[in-house]
A and B are shown apart, each in its own frame.
Chain A
Amino acid sequence: MNYVLARLIRQFIPVVFVASILIFVLAELLPGDPAAIALGETATPEAVTAMRHEMGLDRPIVVRYVRWLGSALTGDFGRSTTGKSVTDLVQASAPPTLELAVVAFTFGNLLGVAFGVVAGVYRGKFPDTLIGIAASLVIAVPSFVAGLLILLVFTVWLSWFPSAGRVGLTENPVEGLKYLALPAFSLGAVVAAVVSRFTRQSIVDVLTNDFIRTARAKGLSEHTVIFVHALKPSMLPVVTIVGVQLGGLIGGSIVIEQVFTRPGMGRLLIGAVNSKDYPTIQAITLLLVSTYIVFNLLTDLLYAWLDPRLRPGARGRA
């Protein structure tokens, strides 16, 4: 528990803090007066001064930063340049992205582990070669390009799937899946490929252990040996790449949402960048960065939990 707390205080909070300063200052340094922009070109200088006061822009930057972070922590990100509340915009765009990330992550990991086990068990034989080639192909071609090609084949040529939009998975699971299938596949395939490589290597290593020989010598079926004895220990290295994968999923979903014209945080972000909607950009960036750091922290903690040698106070650690 102390370890968790120490990591939280020493790493998580400083990094989020500095990142939030960066996100805030980047928008602050921009040319143009937000008060004048909000009022339009016809505003009198007096009105602009009044607006600056109302928006708090006449205060020192440190004060404005503290107020911004304070309200951000309570879930208030101010108003977007479209006049809507940024919090509302982000709340509306979060479920589609979350849906996509969760489904792609689950699909990718299940498929990756399954293929990895098959490849590891049939090491050097046909299934292994086939899975290896498929994984190399998927890893080589970037997910958004693969997504575009998939889009062209399955929506334009075959018309099997809708090419744009989204239906909530909780509202209508069948329709929702139709919209989700291609983007989730494009994103999840990369996860599956990476996971299958790790799983394969891990299974190959674990199968050389004495306890596997013992299990086989006991007369257990190969099925039991692999799924009961070999699978669990071989998952350790796979679990450790979860954090890296999530980073990829966050970045990937920004582009994939654009490929499949799916409403979500990625599209909200790109739209905000194009219309110079800084409050929205700040909010989404801060959220994505915090999520990413939280998952990296969780992965680190997972390492420590899985491998006691990495805990502080363990022997051999400086």
Chain B
Amino acid sequence: MANEVRPASVDQLVWAQEYQQRRRSPGLAFLIRLVRDPRGAAALSVLGVLLTFAFIIPLVVTTSPFESVRGQRLLEPSPSHPFGTDELSRDLFIRNAVGFRSTLLSGLFAVIGGWLIGITLGYTAGYRGGIVDTLISRAIDTLLAFPGILLAVLLIAWFGPGLTSLSLAIAVFNIPFSTRLARAAVLREVVRDYVLAAQTVGCTGVRVLFRHIAINTFGLFAVQLPIAIVNSILIIAALGFLGLGAQPPNPTLGGLLFDGRRFMRLAWWYLLAPASIVAVFMLALNFLSDVLSEMLDPVRRGRA
């Protein structure tokens, strides 16, 4: 009979599943959909250009970001100096590229450091409960009482301005949110059977947390971490602009904004370049995140 449905063998089922997976992984399929969306493609290409600027240009261009050439002070943009030169006759193109890279990297590392501390604190608070939980939670409440970048400014006041204290301040700045997130995640997971099973076979608390619960809560952090990194990059740029970041002569985006502001009447390009980089970077990221959340949310996808 033509319409007879024959029971498939296990081998056949596995083969069919593998075939489908090989054909297109969900991640790849998603990426293709993202690139086919004109807005997604636009956001990705802008980000691509910016990241190339930050990470490839410093490797390719041989100009030193510290080299001053006599008589080339505050030159307007030209083919040899696409972004002009600064008050010490240094090439601003390479300084912006290196500064952007250093800001991105310090954001990345500071956030990861802060999150490692925060996640450990949150896990401990959620898993141990009782007085430990109360102490950690109240400490986090106190940190949250400092509005916006005030906490970071206060910490830099304590450590003294510089790249190390800036990174430390950003790490601390990231602790409250990551702690809360991790604590909530543990509280949700700790009642699950697999945790009980792990405890029953005699796993220590540390092992239960970092081998079992950590793996099951990873997805949550993967979503929030990029947002935290972007926010922290902004705070780093703002603090650099306040003169509290890396000290000269090392270029950072914030430092370039600070110097550009000082010389804006003499050299508009000095301020325009780093300000535009931050603005375009943030626009592209926000745009990408809008497109992504629309694609991931079937409710919004259907709505006008």
In the complex the two chains form, is A142's CB within 8 Å of B138's CB? no
A285 touches B278 (CB 8 A): no
Known: A23-B154, A142-B234, A254-B149. A274 touches B243 (CB 8 A): yes
**Bound: A254/B285 CA distance, A:** 25
The answer to whether A281 touches B149, judged by C-beta atoms less than 8 angstroms apart, is no
CB neighbours (8 Å) of B276 from chain A are 149
| Beta-carbon nearest neighbor of B280 in chain A | A141
Is B37 an interface residue when CB atoms closer than 8 A count as contact? no
The answer to whether A293 and B279 have CB atoms under 8 Å apart is no
Question: Is there contact, CB below 8 Å, between A26 and B154?
Answer: yes
Cα of A137 to Cα of B287 in the assembled complex, Å: 9
B238 touching A140 by the CB < 8 A rule? Answer: no
| A218-253 Cβ-contact flags toward B at 8 Å (1 or 0) | 000000000000000000000000000011101110
Asked whether any CB of chain B lies closer than 8 Å to the CB of A318, the reply is no
When distances are taken between beta carbons in the complex, the residues of chain A under 8 Å from B5 are: none
- B42 within 8 Å of A by Cβ? no
B146 close to A289 (CB less than 8 A) = yes
Cα A137 to Cα B150 with chains together (Å):
25
B265 in the interface, Cβ–Cβ < 8 Å? yes
**Interface locus among A14-22, A86-94, A299-307:** A14-22
Question: A297 CB to closest chain B CB, in angstroms?
Answer: 11
Q: Select A292's contact among B147, B265, B283, beta carbons within 8 Å.
A: B147
- In the complex, how many angstroms separate the beta carbon of B302 from the nearest chain A beta carbon? 14
Q: Inside 8 A of A254's CB, which chain B residues have their CB?
A: 148-150, 153, 242
B234 and A15 contact, CB distance less than 8 A: no
- CB-CB under 8 A from B238, the residues of chain A are 142, 144, 255
Q: Contacts A142-B238, A255-B241, A273-B161: A19 and B146 contacting too (C-beta < 8 A)?
A: yes
Closest to B141 in A: A15
Residue B282 is within 8 A (CB to CB) of chain A in the complex: yes
The yes or no answer to B132 lying at the interface (CB within 8 A) is no
Contact A152 B272 (CB under 8 A): yes
Interface residues of B in 267-291 (CB under 8 A from A): 268, 271-272, 275-276, 278-279, 282-283, 285-287, 290
Complexed CA–CA distance, A124 and B147 (Å): 36
Decide if A269 is an interface residue (CB 8 Å cutoff).
yes
Question: Is A140 within 8 A of B282, CB to CB?
Answer: yes
A194 within 8 A of B: no
Supposing A255-B241, A270-B242 touch, asked if A281 and B154 sit within 8 A by C-beta, the answer is: yes
Is A144's CB under 8 angstroms from B241's CB?
Answer: yes
Alpha-carbon distance A248/B261, docked complex (angstroms): 23
Q: How far is the CB of B80 from chain A (nearest CB, A)?
A: 24
Query: When the two chains form their complex, are residues B243 and A141 in contact, meaning their CB atoms are under 8 A apart?
Result: no
- Is there contact, CB below 8 Å, between A141 and B282? yes
The minimal Cβ–Cβ distance linking A108 to chain B, given in whole angstroms, is 16
- CB–CB A19/B148 < 8 A: no
Q: Which residues of A contact B304 (CB under 8 A)?
A: 124
Please state if A141 and B147 are interface contacts (CB–CB under 8 Å).
no
Contact B241 A289 (CB under 8 A): no
Q: How far is the CB of B96 from chain A (nearest CB, A)?
A: 14
Chain A, 276-295, contact with B by CB distance < 8 Å: what is the 0/1 string? 10100100010011001100
Contact A149 B279 (CB under 8 A): yes
Which residues of B have CB within 8 Å of A140?
282-283, 285-287
Q: Is A181 an interface residue (CB 8 A)?
A: no
Docked complex Cα distance between A163 and B278 (Å):
22
CA gap between A146 and B276 in the complex, in Å: 9
CB of B136 within 8 A of chain A?
A: no
* B157 & A148 in contact (Cβ 8 Å cutoff): no
A145 to chain B, nearest CB (A): 5
Give bound CA distance, A15 to B238, whole Å.
27
**A157 proximal to B (CB < 8 A):** yes
Note all chain B residues with C-beta closer than 8 A to A270: 153, 242-244
Q: A124-B304, A142-B238, A247-B148 are in contact. Are A273 and B244 (CB under 8 A)?
A: yes
Instruction: Give the Cβ gap from A199 to chain B, nearest Cβ, in Å.
Output: 18
B156 within 8 A of A: yes
**CB–CB A145/B279 < 8 A:** yes
| Complex Cα gap A278–B158 (Å) | 9
A104 at the interface (CB under 8 A from B): no
Contact with B along A253-271 (1 / 0, CB 8 A): 0110011000000000110
The distance in angstroms between the C-alpha atoms of A148 and B148, with both chains bound, is: 19
- The reply on A8 being an interface residue by CB < 8 A is no
Answer whether residue A136 sits at the interface, using C-beta atoms and an 8 A cutoff: yes
Residues of A within 8 A of B260 (CB): 148
Q: In whole Å, how far is B170's beta carbon from the nearest beta carbon of chain A?
A: 14
Interface residue? A102 (CB, 8 A): no
- Note all chain A residues with C-beta closer than 8 A to B229: none
A247 to B, closest residue via Cβ: B147
B134-176 toward A: CB 8 Å interface, digit per residue (1/0)?
A: 0000100110011111100111111011000000000000000
With beta carbons under 8 angstroms apart, the residue of B161, B282, B287 that contacts A142 is B282
Among B161, B264, B286, contact of A156 (Cβ-Cβ < 8 Å): B264
Contact, CB under 8 Å: A288 / B147:
yes
> Which positions 219-244 of chain B face chain A at CB distance < 8 Å?
234, 237-238, 241-244
> Could you show 17 A-B contacts with beta carbons less than 8 Å apart?
A140-B285, A142-B238, A144-B238, A144-B241, A145-B237, A149-B272, A156-B268, A163-B265, A248-B147, A251-B150, A272-B157, A273-B156, A273-B157, A273-B244, A289-B146, A292-B146, A293-B145
